[in-house]
């Protein structure tokens, strides 16, 4: 009976998630879990939460990079927000952003990424490595370089695409700016979805797929009935992150500079122009706040969508 008294941390409050198993498999306990999370949370608090709240505050001022408003910024309340929503440029930017996110993130990156992961799921060997390697290359190359690649590809006169298609003089970036940046961003970001779905598909028990195949399920039915239920969580994570990043992606600026005439000025580019080029930091921060709110709505929408089917 040497250890009749128990050490305090061995009796954590019941943390069981499901009634059957405690989720705290390693016996971490709240105190130690806190210690594990502390470094990350501390960094986040100092370098993320604090400045982010500061940005939200800036959105309520008329702060500018230079000029009198830089010396003595004034609190203007919701004026910036109201200015934004009464500005047609802002609304066209928002609409373009929605197209951009839907086209390049949800359909482009998620769709293509899943398709590649699915096509290559049972493959080994050089073909898979080459395809995956190229897709990932597009993702890890620095955007400063990538923008040049795409200008070279889509250029009106010497562009590779026009040379291949035999369409000299076709101005992709001018006549189809949104299509261009959507395809560009699909090219750029597919790797992340591909990797995530590749890992997720590895988790789908082969036996489930086999039984579906035996039951005569078509490819699509297999996906719908076996694969999607298994990777629903991954889909949620992926959609959430990809949409969030795409909303804030500023790299279309490098390709079209928001042009021609604002026809590809997505919100992130709008903020860049407003904040960096015009120095209107207060207004830029307010638009950032609006982007945050839109992202919030999108996140809630995804959560609802994927939870309701559970």
Partner 1 sequence: MTRFVLGRIGFYTLIAVLLAFFTVPLLWLVTAPFTSDPTYEVRVPDFTWDNFAALLEHPYALPSLWNSVVLSAGTAVLVVIFAALAAYALSRVRLPGRDALLYALLLLSSIITGTAAMVPLFQLAVELNLIDSQFGLILILTGGLLPAAIFMLKDFMDSTPKSYEESARVFGASPLQIVRDVVVPLVRPGLATIAVWAVANVWGNFLMPYLLLSDVEKQPAAVITYTLYTEGGQANLSMLSTFGLLYSIPVVLMYLFVSKKYGFRFHGGIKR
Partner 2 sequence: MALRKRSVGVVAVIAAAGLGLAACGQSSSGGGGDAIELTIAQNAIQGGKNEAAAKFIADWVIPKFQEAQKAKGKDVTVKFVPSGVDDEQYKTKLSLDLKSGKGADVIDIDSIWAGEFAEAGYIKPLTEVAGAEADSWDGWSQIPEAVQGMTEFNGKKYALPVGTDGRVLYFNKTLFAKAGLPADWQPKSWQEVLDAGTKLKSSGVPVPIQINAGTAMGEATSMQGVLPLLAGAGGEVQQDGKWSGASQPLKDALGLYQKIYGGGLGDPKLQQEAKGRDKSFQQFADGKIGILMEGDYFWRGVVNPKTGVAKMADRDQVVGYAMIPAMEPGKGIRGQDFVSMSGGALRTVNPNTKHPKEAFELLTFMLSPEALKEETKDGNVRITPRSDVNKEILAGEPLLTFISEKVLPLTAYRPPVAAYPQVSVALQEATAAVVGGTAPDQVAADYQKKLEGIVGGAGNIAS
Partner 3 sequence: MAAIELRGLTKVYPGGVRALDALDLVIPDGEFFALLGPSGCGKTTLLRTIAGLETATGGAVVIGDRDVTGVQPGARDVAMVFQDYALFPHMDVTDNIAYPLRIKKVSKNDRRDKAAEVGARLGLEHLMDRRPGQLSGGQQQRVALARVMATQAQAFLFDEPLSNLDARLRLEARTFLKKLQRELGVTTVFVTHDQAEALAMADRMAVMESGHIRQIGTPAEVFQRPANTFVAGFIGSTPMNLLDGVVRGDTLEVAGCKVAVPAAAEGRLSDGGKIVYGVRPEYMTYSAEPADGALGGKVSIVENLGASHLVTLDVNDVNVQAVVPEGSEPAVGDDGYALPRRDRALVYLDGELV
**Residues at the interface with partner 2 (CB under 8 A):** 64-71, 151, 156-157, 171, 173-174, 255-262, 276-280
Task: Identify the residue among 1, 4, 71, 144 touching partner 1 (CB under 8 A).
Answer: 144
In the complex, minimum distance from the CB of residue 160 to partner 1, in angstroms, rounded to a whole number: 5
With CB under 5 to 8 Å by kind, the binding choice for 257 among partner 3, partner 2, partner 1, none is partner 2
Residue number, 90 or 150, with CB nearest to partner 1? 150
228 binds partner 1 (CB under 8 A): no
Residue 168 within binding range of partner 1, rule CB under 8 A: no
Indicate which single residue of 78, 82, 167, 296 sits in contact with partner 1 (rule: CB under 8 A): 296
Task: Give the range of 89-97, 100-108, 255-263, 274-282 binding partner 1 by CB under 8 A.
Answer: 274-282
7 binds, among partner 2, partner 1, partner 3, none (CB under 5 to 8 A by kind): partner 3
The binding site for partner 3 (CB under 8 A) comprises 1-7, 10-12, 14, 16, 19-22, 25, 27
140: contact with partner 1 by CB under 8 A: yes
**DSSP assignments along the chain, one per residue:** -TT-SPPGGGSPPP--SSSSS-S-TT--HHHHHHHHHHHHHHHHIIIIIHHHHHHHHHTTB---SSSHHHHS--B-TTHHHHHHHT-HHHHHHHHHHHHHIIIIIIIIIIIHHHHHHHHTTT--SHHHHHHHHHHHHHHHS-HHHHHHHHHHHH-TTT-HHHHHHT-TT--HHHHSHHHHHHHHHHHHHHHHHHHHHHHHHHTS-HHHHHHHHHTT--HHHHIIIIIHHHHHHHHHHHHHHHHHHHHT--THHHHHTT-STTTT--HHHHHHIIIIIS--HHHHHHHHHHHHHHHHHHHHHHHHHHHTT-
Least Å distance between CB 275 and partner 2?
Answer: 9
């Amino acid at each position: 009976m040497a250890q009749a008294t128990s050490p305090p941390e061995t009796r954590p409050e019941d943390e069981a998630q499901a009634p059957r198993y405690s989720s705290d498999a390693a016996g971490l306990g709240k105190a130690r879990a806190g210690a594990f999370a502390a470094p990350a949370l501390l960094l986040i608090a100092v370098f993320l939460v604090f400045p982010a709240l500061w940005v939200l505050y800036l959105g309520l001022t008329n702060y500018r990079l230079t000029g009198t408003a830089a010396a003595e910024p004034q609190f203007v309340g919701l004026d910036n927000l109201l200015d934004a929503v009464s500005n047609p440029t802002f609304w066209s930017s928002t609409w373009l952003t929605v197209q951009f996110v839907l086209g390049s993130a949800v359909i482009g990156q998620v769709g293509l990424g899943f398709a590649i992961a699915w096509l290559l799921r049972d493959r080994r060997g050089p073909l898979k490595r080459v395809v995956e390697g190229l897709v990932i290359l597009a993702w890890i190359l620095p955007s400063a370089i990538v923008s040049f690649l795409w200008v070279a590809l889509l250029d009106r006169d010497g562009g590779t695409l026009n040379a291949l298609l035999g369409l000299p003089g076709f101005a992709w970036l001018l006549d189809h700016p949104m299509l261009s940046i959507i395809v560009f961003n699909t090219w750029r970001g597919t790797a992340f979805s591909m990797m995530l779905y590749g890992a997720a598909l590895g988790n789908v028990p082969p036996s489930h797929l086999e039984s579906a195949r035996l039951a005569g399920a078509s490819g699509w039915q297999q996906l719908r009935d076996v694969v999607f239920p298994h990777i629903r969580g991954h889909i949620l994570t992926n959609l959430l992150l990809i949409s969030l990043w795409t909303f804030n992606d500023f790299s279309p600026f490098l390709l079209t500079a928001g042009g021609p005439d604002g026809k590809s000025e997505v919100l992130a580019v709008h903020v860049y122009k407003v904040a960096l080029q015009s120095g209107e930091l207060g207004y830029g921060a307010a638009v950032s706040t609006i982007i945050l709110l839109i992202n919030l709505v999108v996140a809630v929408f995804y959560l609802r969508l994927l939870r309701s089917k559970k």
